[in-house]
Structure 1
């Protein structure tokens, strides 16, 4: 299972309709947004759920219900669930959700997994591989990447199907991303002599420039309101599909 050239991340863990009225929250809104983004060029949906109070939700039952609701509506469009903690969940809970929600694609932060003992992370990665669950490893820095090397079994690290996502600008002042933020990750992959299936996401007004740079260098893109509400010209995007269409045109 490989990553699509474009994955849409339409809502994230914390944004609300006060940030943008077109931000999807309910399953029906997410489905409608995903279909519009599919038509605009996205091959997969990065799925976040909310509870009744609008808070970030990691729950196996809720994910199972969401996947059952979305798959028939989205057809062949792939669905990746998140295990982001958003300050609410511990690694054990995140691992359980990743393994027991019925999803075939899951994003997992290496930094968050390593809040626990390394052996627990190693066992988790091995079990996910045994179950055929495609883990996309979230890496915020080269230090995260180097830490992943120590806990990911070598056969998985060297597998060309290894999925990575490099995050540009998440933990910098103002969440401003620049294309140069990709360079440490490119250097790391070259140093490790690996050729994974990799993508980036980028925060703020630099999102389009960062995605353009990554696509030109052989990467893939995750785009959407989770990361930025801004078009390349600095105007506010009308909806997620507009952001996808702009990147698809690249």
Structure 2
């Protein structure tokens, strides 16, 4: 299983539009250009959302394949991850169908979207085991310490296979930013309950606290996801000019990898 990138950019997400920020990428051409700028600024991975002709969130396997082919040709070493996010448009069956058709190397999947009620577990379990067998590496999105607890239970029961897992922890919300966000330590404490499992984890955070939260995560052994999906603001509260500016700030603030210091 490939390690998560040190710094992944999430340049658009499923909800924001150019009304929120004119530099937010909507088209595939814009996504390619923004990915290029962000890799030059220090990102080593990208988390990708498609939009339809009206700018609405889209899950479309052929469109994703075409975009990935373009990006993989230009950035063969980058970690290029697609989303399976529902965003109020798709149910779990449609999300799983897209992933099965695309069979991406890397995809993010929210546990709470796969399992909305206990009756969803048989289909979810089959999907997680299929992905492991197919070489599709899932980064599991967990929005709270309680969700981490449920994830650990699923690991211990064998509903989610494997012993080493990729995780995306989420602090804060679109609506409230970092207001009311729970401490990172609460998430990590729940992860320690999976004594027979190991984790490669990443954090995303919202609002002006994004940079500080990502630095805290890196110091605790995690990775960082930054970009307009989660925040438009720099650490000083100013509005970032574009995604590359957010990448540059966070890249400079993160502890530098050992290879960069030698």
**Deviation (angstroms), 1:156:** 5.7
Q: Which residue of 2 aligns with 1:213?
A: 216
Q: Which residue of 2 aligns with 1:6?
A: 7
1:125 and 1:150 map into 2 onto residues whose CA distance is 15
**Deviation (angstroms), 1:154:** 3.9
**Deviation (angstroms), 1:70:** 2.2
1:181 and 1:21 map into 2 onto residues whose CA distance is 32
Q: Which residue of 1 aligns with 2:133?
A: 130
State the TM-score, normalized to the length of structure 2. Answer: 0.89
Query: Does the residue aligned with 2:4 lie in a helix, a strand or coil?
Result: coil
For 1:181, which of 180, 183, 190 is the aligned residue? 183
CA 1:178 to 1:249, structure 2 compared with 1: closer, same or farther past 3 Å?
farther
For 1:197, which of 191, 194, 200 is the aligned residue? 200
What does 1:12-161 correspond to in 2, within 5 Å? 12-115=13-116, 117-152=120-155, 154=158, 159-160=163-164
1:61 and 1:43 map into 2 onto residues whose CA distance is 24
RMSD, aligned CA: 1.9
**Deviation (angstroms), 1:89:** 0.1
1:179 and 1:245 map into 2 onto residues whose CA distance is 25
CA 1:35 to 1:178, structure 2 compared with 1: closer, same or farther past 3 Å?
farther
Structure 2: tracts of 5 or more residues without a match: 254-262
The answer on whether the counterparts of 1:138 and 1:167 sit within 8 Å (CA) in structure 2 is: yes
218-227 or 95-104, which moves further after superposition? 95-104
1:30-68 CA-to-partner distances (Å, cap 9, x unmatched) read 111111111111111100000111100011122112212
Query: Does the residue aligned with 1:108 lie in a helix, a strand or coil?
Result: strand
**Deviation (angstroms), 1:10:** 0.2
The aligned length equals 248
**Deviation (angstroms), 1:170:** 2.0
Query: Is the counterpart of residue 233 in structure 1 residue 241 in structure 2?
Result: no
1:159 and 1:224 map into 2 onto residues whose CA distance is 30
The answer on whether the counterparts of 1:31 and 1:73 sit within 8 Å (CA) in structure 2 is: no
2:217 and 2:48 map into 1 onto residues whose CA distance is 22
1:118 and 1:195 map into 2 onto residues whose CA distance is 23
State the TM-score, normalized to the length of structure 1. Answer: 0.93
CA 1:177 to 1:195, structure 2 compared with 1: closer, same or farther past 3 Å?
farther
**Deviation (angstroms), 1:178:** 7.5
2:128 and 2:242 map into 1 onto residues whose CA distance is 35
2:158 and 2:136 map into 1 onto residues whose CA distance is 17
The answer on whether the counterparts of 1:10 and 1:226 sit within 8 Å (CA) in structure 2 is: yes
139-148 or 41-50, which moves further after superposition? 139-148
1:210 and 1:23 map into 2 onto residues whose CA distance is 22
1:84-131 CA-to-partner distances (Å, cap 9, x unmatched) read 100000001111112221410000000000026101111111000001
